[in-house]
Structure 1
């Protein structure tokens, strides 16, 4: 993998019952990393540079909210494109099924 220095990192990984924090970020101070589920008020990021890890609907929603308050926002994703609410691939269940039966 690659290392990317960042002062703040926001994770956008979907619904709150699927809240996942990569182990590499768990020991960082709360002032430096937060989950998208905890970012209902983004005013604290106004004028800041923020990296969002994720490529789903939460990432896009959070990026738009951050841009609205004047944050310089970058989305970082492993995926080659932004996709959400798409047809399942392989053995992965549909998103609605995951919410109903977490």
Structure 2
């Protein structure tokens, strides 16, 4: 309540500096791509048996269906389906969106 006795609502936006996510265990081994979507080149496959590994996304695509990884170092800049992750304290759709012109074109585009 404010000083005048009226209820008010205040929204605050907190940025997570190093978001920590882990692989979901209920999906097959997810694939990493060089862009946000299966129309990009597949680069690597993650092993869901290593669920304890921490993945840190730094951006999402406009649809929030894909996230770009910042860590671990071996996967920096690679893209992963957001549905493959479980994140602590936030959801991937809250990440900052990457600008379309920053996403590499595909051969299929």
Structure (1/2) with the larger strand percentage: 2
Structure (1/2) with the larger helix percentage: 1
Q: TM-score, normalised by structure 1?
A: 0.31
Q: TM-score, normalised by structure 2?
A: 0.29
Which structure has the larger Rg?
2
